[in-house]
């Protein structure tokens, strides 16, 4: 509908044009970031008139500045009751971006409403930059000097976008809603949004996706690295009276395909450019050959390892098909390539491959073909990995004089691969299983393999399987089997689910390995720990071990007997009630005691004769030696104290002498044993000497 200029001017003067506000939301967290200010006309007779019917007329009648004053005056006043962390975006017309008075207009309006212009983002379209780019750049620079941020609106729909991004100091790119609304159904739209977001990331610009109407669009934008979302998914534009409701509303954050918060599903701390660099480093550094083919089987990407396999530089592959470069290899690989394009992965296929250099020896490669899918789960190509097993095959031929392929290689492996259906019923298992258990494939199929499992482990195995099938998580369990050699063996099996294009589990792939040696090591460690504990506890000398903070970590019964009280693990050594005196009867300060000096100064002491006044007030003469305990890196981590009851050492008991002890120089140094198990806490005491003068 056409409106006369006077009617438009009258509507401006009477503030029939009012601001509406649409939220701008952080895609990852759902946090409210700001509002875009949109204009609506409350016509006295026609009701609410959309902007497409009046904005072109306002531009035609050259009333944009008056219109801007009308809208922003009301919007800035509404912003007074909104937290200062919330920003606002406002559009300016192409004509205004060529008006040198525009910055002064914004300054005046902000001053009148006490509005901080650093909260404002001005959105311009590319059409505003076509007529006079230098003038537009000058006006943009003046706006930036006021603290205003600049946003390029509807990016991707105009002309010379890269030139404009370079010429003007933009802070933000807004992806046109036409691409966002079609990105779920259209791979071309997804490519465009991904390219715009990647460009924004590389230039350090914030990206905003407009027109988001459903969670799937928000999710795809988040996966691509977009920062801010706007659209009906969050809210339609509302009048100022509804702003408190939007401020209190909890907006949804984007979710991953599994339904969990996206921030916990993938590492989004790094932006897409950084993640791409990380993936590129992994890709190029992989010790296997890797490449990506598009749906036409043309090389899109290839790493150096595979280029070396083929005997061609990387650039010679790009854009060319496998059939063009290696026709003989293609004939063997084509069935697997076609399956991958149909959504079926093929793993570990052995293949002979001759490179491009004439006369070079053929390689034996273990190849895998995986369908590659985009964010919408559409197949966009094939990911191929190749492992050079030529040396392995040559060894097999020399050992077995045969040309068996990958199946025999697997059968010779110490591990036992197996395959089960979606419900956990075994479909196939390596022939090595029969050699180990005596069960044939038929006897092992389904749940038959459980017949050889130790009855004590059967129920545990069933529980593990049930949980893995219920959750779809990888399975890892240990159990015992009665082998064909009539011996019980410890085994460990691990499995991974395989899913079809719909995400349903169709197979479980796993392997079984012997872990008898590991179990034996653990048992040996337990026995060693028990033996060391026995030695420590039954030593004729009293032994006490402290950590670097003076906390008791070990004390044997003899030490507790000598000192006349219990010495519990974890107690503070300096808090015990006994006292120590030298030969002159003077109380020895705790810092000067041999054990304290050993921990504090790293000093090893010779035997020192001390009188202990025990908690029951009885006295006992002891010979004490101490040494620091060092880690493997030479750091002091504690100390060890050895005590001998001198009355017994001299007399055997209170009534008579005992055989004298061998002379010595005392403990010299204690080293901690390398950790043999998580619970092993005993120490190695190389020698224990008693000073000869104290005998």
Shared-domain flag, residues 497 and 620:
no
Q: CATH code at 199?
A: 3.20.20.450
Nearest-angstrom CA–CA distance, 214 and 57:
33
- Centre a 10 Å sphere on the Cβ of residue 284 and count the other Cβ atoms it contains: 12
Q: What is the torsional sign of CA 672, 673, 675, 680?
A: negative
Q: Are residues 299 and 372 in the same domain?
A: yes
Q: Which two tokens stand for residue 375?
A: 């964010």
Instruction: Give the chain's mean pLDDT.
Output: 82
Whether 637 has a pLDDT exceeding 60, the answer reads yes
What's the gap between Cα 251 and its chain centre? 25
Calpha distance 559→536 (Å, rounded):
11
Confidence of residue 352 (pLDDT cuts 50, 70, 90): confident
Beta strands at 488-499 and 475-482: parallel, antiparallel or unpaired: antiparallel
Please tell me whether residues 391 and 324 are part of one structural domain: yes
Task: Give the pLDDT score at 649.
Answer: 58
Asked if pLDDT for residue 693 goes beyond 50, the answer is no
Enter the tokens of residue 547.
Answer: 């950590």
- Binning pLDDT at 50, 70 and 90, where does residue 410 land? low
> What are the tens digits of pLDDT across the range 518-568?
888 777 777 777 777 777 888 788 899 999 888 999 899 988 888 888 989
Contact 424, 465 (CB under 8 A): yes
Q: How does 528-544 read in b/e, with b if 16+ C-beta sit within 10 Å? A: ebeebeeebeebebbbb
Q: Is the pLDDT assigned to residue 240 strictly greater than 90?
A: yes
* Domain tally, the chain: 4
Instruction: Read off the pLDDT of each residue in 620-631 and give the average, rounded to a whole number.
Output: 90
| Whether residue 678 has pLDDT greater than 90 | no
Q: Tokens 């309006």 correspond to what residue?
A: 109
Same-domain check for residues 376 and 437: no
Mean pLDDT score, 391-409: 62
Q: Is residue 275 part of a domain?
A: no
pLDDT of the residue at 577: 83
Rounded CA gap, 588 and 441, in Å? 77
Indicate the DSSP class of residue 167. Answer: H
- Asked whether residue 330 is domain-assigned, the answer is yes
Positive or negative, the CA dihedral 282, 283, 289, 294 is positive
Q: Of 400, 422, 442, which closes a domain? A: 400
Q: Is residue 281 part of a domain?
A: no
Instruction: Give the side-chain half-sphere CA count within 13 A for 410.
Output: 18
User: What pLDDT is stored for residue 274 in this prediction?
Assistant: 57
169 and 229 inside one domain: yes
Higher pLDDT, 641 or 400: 641
Tokens standing for 399? Answer: 């050992």
Structure tokens at 58: 């306002």
603 is catalytic: no
Give start and end residues of each alpha helix (H) in 146-271.
161-167, 177-182, 187-202, 215-224, 243-248, 262-265
Same domain, 82 and 185: yes
Instruction: Give the list of residues 6+ apart from residue 339 with CB closer than 8 angstroms, or none.
Output: 345, 346, 369
Q: Is residue 512 a contact partner of residue 492, using CB atoms and an 8 Å limit?
A: yes
What mean pLDDT comes out for the span 646-651? 68
pLDDT in tens, 187-236: 888 888 888 888 888 788 999 999 999 999 999 998 888 999 999 999 99
**Domain assignment present for 355:** yes
In the numeric block, which tokens belong to residue 251?
Answer: 């907006």
Residue 680 has pLDDT above 50, yes or no: no
C-alpha distances in angstroms, 402 versus 352, 399, 405, 417, 432? 15, 8, 9, 22, 18
Rounded distance between C-alpha atoms, residue 175 and residue 156, angstroms: 7
Q: How many residues does the chain have?
A: 695
pLDDT reported for residue 674: 43
Structure tokens at 599: 């921990």
Per DSSP, the three-state class of 264 is: helix
Buried b (16+ CB within 10 A) or exposed e, 562-597: bbbeebeeeeebeebeeebeeeeeeebeeeebbbbb
Does 596 share its domain with 543? yes
Domain match, 205 and 352 both: no
Q: What is the percent of the chain with per-residue pLDDT over 70, rounded to a whole number? A: 84
Q: Quick one: pLDDT band at residue 689, thresholds 50, 70, 90?
A: very low
pLDDT in tens, 262-273: 444 444 444 555
**What region, left, alpha or beta, does residue 382 occupy, with left being phi > 0 and alpha being psi -120 to 50 degrees?**
beta
What DSSP character marks residue 507?
E
- Nearest-angstrom CA–CA distance, 328 and 297: 15
CB 201 within 8 A of CB 226: no
Return all residues near 649 (Cβ < 8 A) that are at least 6 apart. Answer: 623, 658, 661, 690, 694, 695
143 contacts: CB under 8 Å, gap ≥ 6: 102, 103, 106, 122, 150
In the chain, % helix, strand, coil (3-state, to 5) comes to 40, 30, 35
pLDDT > 60? residue 672: no
Q: Answer for the pair 76, 109: CB distance below 8 angstroms, yes or no.
A: yes
Query: What is the per-residue pLDDT for 375?
Result: 66
Q: What is the pLDDT of residue 650?
A: 62
**8 Å CB contact between 608 and 689:** no
What is the SS3 assignment for 322?
helix
What percentage of the chain has pLDDT greater than the value 90? 32
Return d(Cα 491, Cα 495) in angstroms, integer.
13
Give me the half-sphere count of Cα atoms (radius 13 Å) on the Cβ side of residue 694. 25
Q: How far is Cα 320 from Cα 326, in angstroms, rounded to an integer?
A: 10
DSSP string, 96-151: GGG-TTHHHHHHHHHHHHT--GGGEEEEEEGGGGSS-HHHHHHHHHHHHHTT-EEE
Two structure tokens written together for 607 = 């035997």
Predicted local confidence at residue 679, as pLDDT? 37
Q: Which residues contact 10 (CB under 8 A, 6 or more apart)?
A: 16
CB atoms within 10 A of CB 670: 22
Phi-psi region of 208 (alpha: psi -120 to 50; beta: other; left: phi over 0): beta
CB neighbours of residue 444 within 10 Å: 20
The answer to whether residues 643 and 581 belong to one domain is yes
378 close to 477: Cβ distance less than 8 angstroms? no
The verdict on residue 274 lying in a domain is no
User: pLDDT tens digits, residue range 50-84?
Assistant: 898 998 899 899 999 999 999 999 999 999 999 99
508: phi then psi, degrees, rounded to nearest 5:
-120, 125
First-to-final CA distance of the chain: 118
Q: Are residues 504 and 546 in the same domain?
A: no
Confidence (pLDDT) at 307: 86
pLDDT band at 108 (very low <50, low <70, confident <90, very high): very high
Q: Which of 393, 327, 338 is nearest to 365 (CA)?
A: 393
pLDDT digits 0-9 by tens, 36-46: 999 999 999 99
- DSSP of 605-620: ---EEEEEE-TTS-EE
pTM above 0.85, yes or no: no
Handedness of CA 74, 80, 82, 86 (dihedral sign): positive
Query: What is the mean predicted confidence (pLDDT) over 653-674?
Result: 41
Mind listing the pLDDT tens digit for each residue in 357-387? 776 778 888 899 999 887 677 888 999 988 8
CA distance 196 to 218: 15
Containing structural domain, residue 460: 413-514
- Residues 643, 680, single domain; the answer is yes
Give domain status of residue 247, yes or no.
yes
Active-site pick, 36, 123, 210, 219? 210
595: in domain: yes
464 and 535 share a domain? no
Between 684 and 173, whose confidence is greater?
A: 173
**CATH number where 447 lies:** 3.30.450.20
In a domain, 273, yes or no: no
Q: How many CB atoms lie within 10 A of CB 101?
A: 12
Predicted confidence band at 695 (pLDDT cuts at 50, 70, 90)?
A: very low
Q: How many CB atoms lie within 10 A of CB 412?
A: 14
């Amino acid at each position: 509908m056409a409106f006369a200029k006077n009617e438009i001017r009258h509507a401006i003067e009477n503030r029939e044009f009012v601001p509406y506000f649409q939220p701008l939301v952080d895609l990852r967290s759902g946090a409210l970031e700001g509002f875009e200010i949109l204009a609506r006309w409350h016509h006295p007779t026609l009701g609410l008139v959309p902007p497409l019917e009046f904005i072109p007329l306002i531009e035609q009648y050259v009333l944009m500045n008056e219109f801007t004053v009308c809208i922003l005056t009301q919007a800035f006043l509404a912003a007074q009751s909104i937290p200062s962390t919330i920003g606002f975006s406002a559009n300016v017309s192409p004509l205004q971006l060529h008006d040198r008075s525009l910055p002064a207009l914004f300054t005046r309006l902000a001053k009148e409403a006490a509005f901080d212009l650093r909260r404002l983002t001005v959105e311009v379209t590319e059409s505003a930059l076509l007529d006079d780019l230098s003038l537009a750049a000058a006006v943009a620079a003046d706006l930036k000097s006021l603290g205003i941020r600049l946003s390029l609106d509807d990016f991707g729909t105009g002309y010379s976008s890269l030139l404009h991004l370079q010429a003007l100091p933009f802070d933000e790119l807004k992806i046109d809603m036409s691409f966002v609304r079609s990105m779920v159904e259209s791979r071309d739209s997804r490519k465009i949004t991904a390219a715009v977001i990647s460009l924004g990331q590389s230039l350090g610009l914030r990206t905003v996706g407009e027109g988001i109407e459903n969670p799937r669009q928000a999710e795809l934008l988040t996966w691509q690295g977009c920062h801010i979302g706007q659209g009906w998914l969050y809210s339609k534009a509302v009048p100022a009276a509804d702003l408190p409701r939007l401020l209190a509303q909890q907006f949804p954050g984007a979710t991953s395909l599994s339904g969990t918060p996206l921030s916990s599903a993938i590492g989004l701390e790094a932006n897409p450019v950084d993640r791409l660099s990380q993936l590129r480093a992994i890709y190029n550094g992989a010790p296997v050959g890797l490449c990506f083919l598009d749906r036409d089987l043309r090389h899109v990407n290839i790493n150096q390892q595979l280029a070396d396999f083929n005997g061609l530089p990387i650039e010679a592959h790009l854009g060319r098909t496998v059939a063009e470069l290696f026709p003989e290899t293609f004939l063997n690989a084509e069935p697997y390539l076609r399956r991958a394009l149909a959504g079926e992965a093929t793993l570990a296929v052995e293949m002979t491959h001759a490179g491009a250099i004439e006369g070079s020896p053929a390689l034996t490669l273990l190849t895998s073909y995986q369908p590659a899918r985009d964010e919408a789960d559409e197949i966009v190509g094939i990911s191929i990995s190749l492992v050079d097993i030529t040396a392995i095959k040559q060894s097999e031929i020399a050992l077995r004089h045969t040309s068996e392929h990958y199946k025999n290689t697997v059968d010779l492996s110490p591990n036992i691969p197996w395959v089960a259906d979606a419900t956990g019923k075994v479909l196939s298992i390596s022939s090595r299983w029969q050699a180990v258990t005596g069960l044939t494939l038929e006897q092992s199929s389904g749940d038959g393999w459980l017949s050889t499992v130790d009855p004590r482990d059967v129920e545990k195995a069933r529980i593990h399987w049930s949980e893995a099938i219920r959750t779809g998580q990888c399975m890892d369990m240990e159990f015992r089997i009665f082998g064909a050699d009539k011996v019980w063996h410890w085994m460990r099996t691990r499995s991974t689910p395989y899913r079809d294009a719909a995400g349903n589990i169709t197979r479980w792939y796993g392997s079984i390995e012997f872990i008898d040696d590991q179990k034996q090591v653990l048992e040996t460690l337990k026995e060693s720990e028990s033996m060391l504990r026995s030695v420590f506890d039954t030593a004729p000398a009293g032994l006490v071990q402290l950590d670097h903070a003076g906390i008791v970590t070990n004390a044997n019964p003899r030490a507790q007997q000598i000192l006349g009280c219990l010495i519990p693990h974890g107690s503070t050594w300096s808090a015990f009630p006994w006292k120590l005196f030298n030969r002159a009867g003077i109380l020895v300060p705790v810092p000067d005691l041999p054990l304290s000096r050993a921990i504090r100064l790293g000093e090893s002491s010779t035997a020192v004769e001390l009188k202990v006044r025990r908690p029951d007030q009885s006295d006992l003469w002891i010979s004490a030696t101490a040494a620091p305990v060092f880690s493997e890196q030479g750091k002091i981590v504690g100390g060890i104290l050895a005590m001998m009851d001198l009355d017994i050492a001299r007399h055997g008991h209170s009534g008579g002498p005992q055989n004298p002890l061998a002379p010595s120089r005392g403990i010299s140094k204690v080293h901690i044993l390398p950790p043999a198990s998580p619970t092993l806490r005993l120490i190695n005491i190389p020698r224990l000497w008693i000073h000869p003068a104290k005998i």
